[in-house]
Structure 1
């Protein structure tokens, strides 16, 4: 038998971690008495897909230990809520226990086709007002008692547009739901502007936009390049133009095609994966030169050697490399090409 006493055994205090900013169920007219009574109780705001919490503080008002069991009742689906944060079930005399009610509703709550179907008689609910936290004290004994605390759940779509309205309009719940209609209509356009930079970057732009971006920088789109190579070359085309005819420009172009590292940290040119050297020997030095060994000018003029060291066999097309060198080098220069494939 459950005993009901005039003097409460415990005190129940509910603290919502997210409260509704607007007046629930209020439109452009003043809230009636029913709405005022509804707002006076504890209200918890829920957004689809976002967790929300209701803290329950239980204090023992007696001078004896109490065995406590918490339950949540309401006309909402039971899978929306679970209880956590409790430290045991016993409260010492004058002690306090805190529990947390975790709420989360599905992401597609407002897109539920069963709720918005024309043949469905029941409308999609936004307010759940028959909710209670039930505390059972000394359950199963002759001192068993039950104490309840009421709370309401308000399900609302989150709208960023409310931040642009004066506080007076934000206090009306209907305004928030009305603005959400415009947000859902215009937000895709706003999101597309937010990522417009990705459409203008050759590394992330859709494939159909690559010829347009290549035309911007005057870069020819050819079938000899695969898609990743085309993206890299278009992105750095202006840099290639700037350094054309130099060792740096040729190495950059070969790097973008072959994927070999630039090895800018290596001071010795011959140790790099893309090595470009000029075969100059020692010039004629009086006192050190011997007849038959001195070379005037130090070597072949306007001549350089390109040596590539790929990590995989036959991963580089020699014909394409020669085409790149012929395009980038000064017209009066000659060169030799060596591709050192790994054994």
Structure 2
């Protein structure tokens, strides 16, 4: 798809850098359809993707000329990625190629501010390339070319239709509507596992997941703690009332490594005669049955809420057991 004309001193050739299959045309149209545009000498733009138009200048004269390009149109000025400050020289009989880039914002179709100024979103634009030649120290218009800019959404559904239908603008826009309507559901199905995992599920879904495992959410605790507890609720139920279950619960709540949480039960002998050491392998007055000591070594004193830790111990230990809590600060 090219456009070329000649001038006594310069010739211009425009070529769209889009792949042929990506540029729509009206080679196939639906009967009675008025929505298909002719896509010859045009540039098809996808939001967030750079589109390029190549322009070739040829000096037909026998003298060197100095040239300069200017691009104008009814599209936003920040779309065009072309900057030329001064005139440039082209030798006699020489050809020179330049690339003019266009970049449409990736939120073009989602930006509702564009609809506040017009009753409908504009998706077709016109661009004009002006070629100026330097004559007697000033720029003189030598040639100009007009081409269209067509902004269309990126549609992956076009990859599943015959190539013949890819050239029809109406088919592309129609499939884009279907894709935008069903794609959220397809993406949800593809990542359904993430919605069922408390670690990755949306926060609004956590009460539902907690209800699945009969877990009571304590709103005083942070959301990260709740995610860990809900995910391991079945394991906590299985080991409830054991030293392993209490140690694992404290690990999930505080985030401390298991190596920094120790539960020590007292099995020393009472008062005995013979070689012994008081406080190490024997004690005066006999042992304390069903008594244990919880030792925690946090990185800082602010990392542990003693009140919450005691509530967890009271809830997890057997009712007849007694305990001591020893928080060893660094």
Report the TM-score, using the length of structure 1 for normalisation: 0.68
Structure 1 residue 191, shift from structure 2 partner: 4.3
Equivalent of 2:257 in 245, 255, 262 = 262
Segments of structure 1 that go 5 or more residues without pairing to the other structure are: 118-122, 265-271, 283-289
* 1:312 pairs with 2:314: no
Counterpart-to-counterpart distance in 1, 2:324 and 2:60? 95
Structure 1 residue 224, shift from structure 2 partner: 6.1
Equivalent of 1:276 in 257, 263, 267 = 263
Counterparts in 2 of 1:15-94, with a 5 A limit? 15-17=16-18, 20-24=22-26, 27-29=29-31, 38-39=38-39, 41-48=40-47, 50-60=49-59, 64-84=63-83, 89-92=88-91, 94=94
Counterpart-to-counterpart distance in 2, 1:95 and 1:196? 57
Q: Contact 2:71–2:127 at 8 Å: present in 1 too? A: yes
Counterparts in 2 of 1:1-343, with a 5 A limit? 7-17=8-18, 20-24=22-26, 27-29=29-31, 38-39=38-39, 41-48=40-47, 50-60=49-59, 64-84=63-83, 89-92=88-91, 94=94, 96-104=96-104, 107-108=108-109, 112-114=114-116, 117=119, 125-128=122-125, 131-140=127-136, 146-207=142-203, 209-222=205-218, 225-244=221-240, 247-259=243-255, 261-262=256-257, 264=259, 272=260, 274-277=261-264, 291-293=274-276, 298=281, 304-310=292-298, 311-312=300-301, 315-318=304-307, 320-328=308-316, 335-341=323-329
Q: Secondary structure at the match of 1:138?
A: strand
Counterpart-to-counterpart distance in 1, 2:155 and 2:221? 46
Number of aligned positions between the proteins = 312
Counterpart-to-counterpart distance in 2, 1:224 and 1:143? 73
Q: Secondary structure at the match of 1:219?
A: coil
Please give the per-residue CA displacement for 1:68-110, whole angstroms capped at 9, x wherever unaligned: 2101244545444241489972334536352423242671489
Report the TM-score, using the length of structure 2 for normalisation: 0.70
Structure 1 residue 177, shift from structure 2 partner: 2.0
Counterpart-to-counterpart distance in 2, 1:5 and 1:57? 12
Counterpart-to-counterpart distance in 1, 2:56 and 2:231? 60
Counterpart-to-counterpart distance in 2, 1:213 and 1:30? 53
Taking a change above 3 Å as real, the CA distance of residues 109 and 165 of structure 1, as seen in their structure-2 partners, is: same
Q: Secondary structure at the match of 1:254?
A: helix
Structure 1 residue 64, shift from structure 2 partner: 4.7
Taking a change above 3 Å as real, the CA distance of residues 56 and 245 of structure 1, as seen in their structure-2 partners, is: farther
Taking a change above 3 Å as real, the CA distance of residues 298 and 127 of structure 1, as seen in their structure-2 partners, is: same
Structure 1 residue 235, shift from structure 2 partner: 1.3
Taking a change above 3 Å as real, the CA distance of residues 59 and 302 of structure 1, as seen in their structure-2 partners, is: farther
Taking a change above 3 Å as real, the CA distance of residues 139 and 236 of structure 1, as seen in their structure-2 partners, is: farther
Q: Secondary structure at the match of 1:275?
A: strand
Larger displacement relative to structure 2 (7-16 or 328-337): 328-337
Q: Contact 2:198–2:209 at 8 Å: present in 1 too? A: yes
Please give the per-residue CA displacement for 1:312-338, whole angstroms capped at 9, x wherever unaligned: 3594234x4344335545788764321
Counterpart-to-counterpart distance in 2, 1:78 and 1:263? 60
Q: Contact 1:26–1:174 at 8 Å: present in 2 too? A: no
Segments of structure 2 that go 5 or more residues without pairing to the other structure are: none
Structure 1 residue 250, shift from structure 2 partner: 2.8
